Structure 1
Amino acid sequence: MSLNRDDIANSPALDLPRNLRFGLAANQRHHSTRDSICFDWLRASELSIQALGIELHTVGRTYDAILREGLLTDYHGLVRYPYGRDGGLMKLVARITETELEADSLDGAIYLIDPVDPSSIFPEALALKRQCITHKKPFISTMAGAIEWIEVERLHAGLHAHSSADALFDLSQQCAALIAHDALKDIMLDFATQHFEVLSSFAQRVATGTTGKLLNELAWSRGWPTDMPWVQRYLSGPMGGDAQIADLVLERQCQKVIFFEDPHVARQHEADIQLLERAVRVVTREATCVTSPAVANKWASAVALRNLR
């Protein structure tokens, strides 16, 4: 069932403490033509954004492109920031670090990344992702992820499911990758324990090295058939497991990557981690990536809510 404009007019105030605020930026390729992914995302999610009253704090060139395309016309929640070259993306990083009580704080960032655009590895781009992870806020870098997260917010606000997200929430047609750095493996196990039914509804699950071993042991302890692995194990990350899963993503055999990253330690296989993230962005219309436990828990809870309605 899709949302129409009467839904917006008749929607309750939702009792939110304040409007949600997301930083928004897109690399040039993603807002240069009418069928660019920034515009396709907004066409899919525009009515939901308005129904929820989400503020989009938008870096200058992306803001200009949205208006040029005639999207979110006269919408009060579209807020312009400076161009990236004038510090617009840097300002988003600063707003992510602020608390919810501060006037300009952001609840997350939607940065639609072109994996071959050199600006995607500028310090402010890397810092935006790192601070989102540190402050337990979503960092969304693909079109599929942006559609999915607006739906997550809809569901948690008590609105009915939107048809634009149906395919993304049909887990029976998807594969999920479950990956956790050493310091977060126990948290991954807690996440899998809490949301075992949701994760079991994926058609397939894959994992790297030790994380996969621990997840299989957990599943068997919960009654999963002992002659069947709950996750298919690949090599450990440092030995090439991230690269193996990146290949699955590129071959459209893995659609969701749940990757609990520890932003406070040096990673010897940093290049492999970036390779996996880049693969997700290559298939931006199909793949999503979650990089922190708080965000993963909110996503899984939204899946459960959607299944109840």
Structure 2
Amino acid sequence: MNIAFIAHDKKKEDLVSFAMAYEHVLKQHTLFSTGTTGERIMDATDLDIHRFASGPLGGDQQIGAMIAENRMDLVIFFKDPLTAQPHEPDINALIRLCDVYTIPLATNMATAEILLSGLQRGEFKWREIIKSGNERKS
């Protein structure tokens, strides 16, 4: 599965800790991230992550494009709800795309843990069905 990581500045350490705790699960998947977040995770783990631009420079939109092309299966986006973000419209667009394309989205550690626990149990088989159905329509 393709999994994307995004984190606001004040949440990057939380996401790094999360990736360290679930490295054994994440290493079985293809990982993507916005720039700095991916760099921080790779520095702390042995995970290989394809890094896009930083969020404010378009990284959110690059991940959004993968969602719109049905090439992303799960998004883990640790948002900082207490700090205004200058690129808020991009963030809202990404969240909207997850809703439109039925992509599971975790915006905090508790939800991310539930999603990865489900992933470990094989509960995301429906994504494979959706992907293969869309490929047949093309």
The answer to whether the superposition gives a TM-score over 0.5 is yes
SS state of the match for residue 232, structure 1?
strand
- Separation of aligned partners in 2, 1:180 and 1:283: 21
How big is each residue's C-alpha offset from its partner over 1:212-269, in whole Å with a ceiling of 9 and x where there is no partner?
Answer: 111122233xxx6xxxxx1100011111110110001111111111000011110000
Paired position in structure 1 for 2:112: 296
The reply to whether residue 184 of structure 1 matches residue 19 of structure 2 is no
Paired position in structure 2 for 1:208: 34
Paired position in structure 1 for 2:20: 193
Q: Which runs of at least 4 in structure 1 moved beyond 2 Å after TM superposition?
A: 298-304
1:1-309 mapped onto 2 (5 Å cutoff): 174-202=1-29, 204-220=30-46, 230-284=48-102, 287-304=103-120, 306=121
Paired position in structure 1 for 2:130: none
Instruction: Report which of the two has the higher share of helix.
Output: 2
Q: Structure 2 vs 1, CA of residues 280 and 302 (structure 1 numbering), >3 Å: closer, same or farther?
A: closer
SS state of the match for residue 300, structure 1?
helix
- Separation of aligned partners in 2, 1:199 and 1:291: 17
Residue type of the partner of 1:289? L
SS state of the match for residue 295, structure 1?
helix
SS state of the match for residue 253, structure 1?
coil
Residue type of the partner of 1:291? T
- Normalization by structure 2: what TM-score? 0.82
Residue type of the partner of 2:43? E
Report how far residue 276 of structure 1 moved.
0.8
- Answer with 1 or 2: which has the greater Rg: 1
Report how far residue 301 of structure 1 moved.
3.1
SS state of the match for residue 263, structure 1?
coil
Paired position in structure 2 for 1:162: none
RCO higher in 1 or 2 (8 Å CA, sep ≥ 6)? Answer: 2
- Separation of aligned partners in 1, 2:99 and 2:73: 11
SS state of the match for residue 177, structure 1?
strand
Question: How many residues matched?
Answer: 122
Report how far residue 211 of structure 1 moved.
0.4
